[in-house]
Amino acid sequence: MHILRPLFVVLAIAAIILIARSIWIPSDFGIHERGYTYGWYRQSNIEEWKNFTVKYQGREFCVTCHAEQVQKLTSSKHKNIECENCHGPALSHPADPLKLVLDRNRELCLRCHTNLFYPNSQRSQIKGINPDQHNPGLECVLCHNPHEASKPR
Amino acid sequence: MNRRDFIKLTIKGTAAVMLVNGLDIIFQPPDVHARTSPRRFVFLVDIYKCIGCGFCVKACKLENEIPFDAGVSRTWVERYVVNGEGEVFADTPKEARYGFTTGRIDLGRGKFKDIPQEKTKKAFFVPKLCNQCEKPSCVQVCPVGATYQNADGVVLIDRKWCIGCGYCIMACPYGMRFFHPVHRVADKCNFCYHRINQGLRPACVQACPTGARLIGNIKDPGDPVEKIIRTQQVAVHKPEYGTNPQVYYVGLGEEVR
C-alpha cells in the first residue's frame, strides 16, 4: 500500500491548489467576447473603468451658467478653443472646486501663436509672433483679450 | 444483421452524432462568442490639421490622472522637420504637454537644432496614441490576464490584476505603454473609455481646437469618421507588424516612425 503514498501527496497538493484557486480567483474571471487570446480577463474591471471620474465637462456644461462669456468666445476667432483648455478641467464646479484657476501664462498663448513656418501643417496659417522679440516676459492678456481674440486694447 | 437493420442503425447513428454536434452549437454558439457589440471604436488623426498646441496632451494627463510632470503620457505629439538634404529631425519636448513654443528641434542630451525657414522642406506634427489594435500583441503576452480587449474593441488594463511585469510594455510595437508611477502597473490610452461609454468624446478630442483628432464607431454606417476611413486615403502606423491598428491617419508620411 505504501507505494501509493506519493500519489496521495500529489492528490492533496492538487486539492489545495484547486481550493486556493476557487477562493482567490473571482467568479467573473474567464474567457469573454474576444476568446482566449484577447478576452481572458476579470469582467467587473470594465465596470470599474466605466465609473472612472470625468473631469472635462465641455463647453456645453460651461454655457449653462456663463452664457455671456461663451457667446463672446464663440463669435470670435477663438471659437474652436474649449473653455477648459485655459480655465482648467471643471470637475464638479461650482461645488468642487469653487473657483477654477485660470492659466494666464504667456506660454499658454505661445502653444499656438509662436510663429512656425511649417508648410504641411495648419500651424503656418495661424497669426504668430517671435516670443523672443514680441514683448518678452509680459503676459499676453495685458494687451489682448483672449475671449475676443482681439488686437491690443 | 440484415441489410434493413444495418441501414436503420446507420441512420440512427448519424442522427445521434449530428444531434450532439447541434447541441454543442446551440449551447456554445460561435456567433455569441464572437463580437456582438454594435460598437467598435476607431480613431482618426488628420496630420495636416494638427498645429502642435499640445492641448490634447494636457487634457489627457489631467483627465486620466497621469502625474503631470512625470515623463510618461498616454498620448503625445511628435514634430517632424525635413530639410533640403532630406534629413529628418524629430522631437517631442516633454511629450508636447506644453505644446511647441519654439522652432528649435530638441535632439536630446541637451543638443538643439535650428532649421531656418528657407531650408524647411516639410514640417508637420503627428499626434500619437494607443492604436487599440484588432490583434493586440500587448494582450497576447500578458501572463495573468490583466490586459484584454473588450467587446467594443478597446484594450483595457485591470489595475488590480496587473503584476507589473512589463511584458506588455516591451511587446507594443508603438511604445504606447508605460509604467504608471503611482499605481505601479502598466498603463496606456484607452480612448477615455469612461467618457466614450457615456457618449462623451475623449478628453483629447474635446480639447483639440482644429478637429485633428476624431473618435468614431466603425460599425455605424452613418458615422462621419467611418465615412472618411472608407472613402479617403488613410494609413496606419507599422502595418507590417500585423497588429491591425485602429488609429487611422490622414497625411501620414514615410518619415514618421
Is A50 near chain B, with CB under 8 Å?
yes
Q: Indicate the average pLDDT of chain A.
A: 91
> For residue B105, what is the DSSP state?
E
Domain ranges of chain A: 22-52, 54-102, 104-153
Give the Cα-Cα-Cα angle B64, B238, B173 (nearest 5 degrees): 55
Instruction: Of A63, A79, A44, give the one whose Cα is nearest residue A149.
Output: A79
Q: Is any Cβ of chain B less than 8 angstroms from the Cβ of A29? A: yes
Compute the radius of gyration of chain A from its Cα atoms: 29
Of B9-23, B48-62, B154-168, minimum mean pLDDT range: B9-23
Q: Summarize pLDDT for B196-225 with one digit per residue, the tens.
A: 999 999 999 999 999 999 999 999 999 999
Distance from CA of A11 to the nearest CA of B (A): 25
- A92's CB contacts (< 8 A; 6+ apart) are none
The phi, psi pair for B252, rounded to 5°, reads -80, 125
Residue B96, helix vs strand vs coil: helix
Question: Distance of alpha carbon B251 from its chain centroid, rounded?
Answer: 18
Compute the radius of gyration of chain B from its Cα atoms.
24
pLDDT of res. B29: 59
Assess B35–A contact: CB distance below 8 Å, yes or no: yes
DSSP of B44-87: EEETTT-----HHHHHHHHHTT--TTSS--S-EEEEEEEETT--
The runs of H, that is alpha helices, within chain A are 5-24, 35-38, 44-50, 59-62, 67-74, 83-87, 106-113
Task: Mention every residue, 6+ apart, whose C-beta is less than 8 A from residue A126.
Answer: A112, A113, B51
Mean pLDDT throughout B191-197?
A: 96
If pLDDT is split at 50, 70 and 90, which confidence band does A1 have?
Answer: confident
**Chain B contacts in chain A segment 97-116 (CB below 8 A):** 107, 110-112, 114-116
B4-17, pLDDT tens digit by residue?
A: 999 999 999 999 99
- Report the alpha-carbon distance of residue B196 to residue B198 in Å, rounded: 5
Joined grid coordinates for residue A84:
477648459
- More confident call, B22 vs B61: B61
Q: Is A123 in contact with B125 (CB distance < 8 Å)?
A: yes
Q: Is A99 left (phi over 0), alpha (psi -120 to 50) or beta?
A: beta
Q: Which site among A28, A49, A134 would you substitute to test the B interface, given the most B Cβ atoms closer than 10 Å to its Cβ? A: A49
Instruction: Compare CB distances from B102 to A40, A81, A114 and report the shortest one's residue.
Output: A114
Q: Is residue A139 scored above 70 in pLDDT?
A: yes
Best of A32, A45, A86, A110 to substitute, by most chain B Cβ atoms within 10 angstroms, is: A45
Secondary structure letter of residue B148 according to DSSP:
E
Q: Tell me the shortest Cα–Cα distance from A93 to chain B, in angstroms.
A: 15
Contact A55 B55 (CB under 8 A): no
Above 80 in pLDDT, residue B32? no
Residues 190-249 of B with CB under 8 A from A: 190, 193-195, 197-198, 200-201, 203, 206-207, 209-211
pLDDT of residue A48: 96
Q: Is there a contact between A117 and B120 if contact means CB atoms under 8 Å apart? A: yes
The grid coordinates of residue B207 equal 480639447
- How would residue B34 be classed by pLDDT, with cut points 50, 70 and 90? low
A109, A140, B52, B118 from B145: Cα distances, Å: 44, 51, 37, 53
Indicate if the pLDDT at residue B28 is higher than 70.
no
What is the C-alpha separation between A145 and B25, in angstroms, rounded? 67
Count CA within 13 A, CB hemisphere, residue A77: 10
Cross-chain CB nearest to B209 (options A81, A110, A117): A81
Query: ipTM higher than 0.90?
Result: no
